Amino acid sequence: MDEHRRIAMKNACILDFGNTRVKWAHFSEGTLVQALEDDEAWQAVQNWSDQAHWLVAATGVVDEEWTEWLEAMKQNRPQHVVHLEFAEQIPIETEYDSIATLGLDRLANAAAVLAEDPDSTWLVIDAGTCITADLIEGGRFCGGSIAPGIDLRLRAMFAGTASLPYPEGWREQAAQGVAIQLGTDTESSLLAGAIGGAQSELSERIRSFESEFPGIRVAITGGDAKFLELQADLPTFADPNLTWTGYYHVLNRILNHD
């Protein structure tokens, strides 16, 4: 391919095999148009017929059914499938010492904020199964922290004690608004501890990074980010689809050898 000729992706599909879910997203002309999970993701790929470039990010376990589908896809369209299994495959500079164990989603988030503003220093907070807070400085992924997510905190208290319950449907309660500092019964106290504790932890982490890196920008993403009230600490860039966008930019970089 001529080094000056770039691959333009009309359609791009991302498959993300995570720790707990399989997720699929479709980009058209660089815009996210659909994102599905688990059974809906499976049906979407079975019904897909358009030409597209595919990125498969396999952080978690890929079961037999998905493995057979993926191998068939790679055999039928070898030029259109990028299969990521290791962080070393992602073309982003990093100072991480154990790159072999670095989660693909953390580098995808870095790719997204670098596409948004490559000149800024970023703190990227991803509130999912775990809560990660990563520093991107000078275009390089510098590392960060990994802590239990809100649901993991609740499950740990349930598993580690004899009498504390697991609050089923806690996300629905949190969406309606809960007092994250003062619970008035056991269940609301658990939510105050898990959600309020995570929020306080992240607020202090943001302040620490702001002190060391004046002008730092904060990006917030992840399925449980909406339950955290972090916007008051710093001007933030909140995008629930940040990881999807990052994977799209990773695919574009790989295809165009950037």
pLDDT in tens, 85-105: 899 999 999 999 999 999 999
Q: Provide the terminal-to-terminal Cα distance of the chain, rounded to the nearest Å.
A: 14
* Average pLDDT rounded to a whole number, residues 38-45: 94
- In angstroms, rounded to a whole number, what is the distance separating the alpha carbons of residues 121 and 136? 6
Domain 88-240 fold is Nucleotidyltransferase; domain 5 (3.30.420)
- In angstroms, rounded to a whole number, what is the distance separating the alpha carbons of residues 12 and 20? 23
Summarised one tens digit per residue, pLDDT across range 228-249 is 887 555 667 889 999 999 999 9
Q: How many CB atoms lie within 10 A of CB 119?
A: 7
The model carries a pTM of: 0.91
**pLDDT value for 197:** 93
Q: What percentage of residues in the chain have a pLDDT greater than 90?
A: 72
Two tokens at 110? 């870095």
For the chain, the domains span: 1-85, 88-240
Are 138 and 119 in contact by the 8 Å Cβ rule? The answer is no
Average pLDDT across the chain, whole number: 90
Q: Which residues contact 82 (CB under 8 A, 6 or more apart)?
A: 53, 54, 55, 56, 251, 254, 255
Q: Which residues of 47-62 are buried (b: 16+ CB within 10 A; e: fewer)?
A: eeeeebbbbbbbbeeb
The reply to whether 1-85 and 88-240 are identical in fold is yes
Q: What percentage of residues in the chain have a pLDDT greater than 70?
A: 94
**pLDDT value for 156:** 98
Are 100 and 86 in contact by the 8 Å Cβ rule? The answer is yes
**pLDDT value for 133:** 97
Are 98 and 115 in contact by the 8 Å Cβ rule? The answer is no
Summarised one tens digit per residue, pLDDT across range 179-198 is 777 889 999 999 999 999 99
Higher pLDDT, 180 or 140: 140
Helical pair 104-116 and 242-255, crossing angle rounded to 10 deg = 80
CATH class of residue range 1-85: alpha beta
Task: Provide the pLDDT confidence category of residue 138 given band limits of 50, 70 and 90.
Answer: very high
Task: Provide the pLDDT confidence category of residue 7 given band limits of 50, 70 and 90.
Answer: low
- 1 has pLDDT over 60: no
Are 119 and 217 in contact by the 8 Å Cβ rule? The answer is no
Two tokens at 155? 């499950």
What is the DSSP secondary structure assignment for residue 195, as one 8-state letter?
I
Q: Which residues contact 44 (CB under 8 A, 6 or more apart)?
A: 24, 26, 34, 36
* Average pLDDT rounded to a whole number, residues 57-70: 88
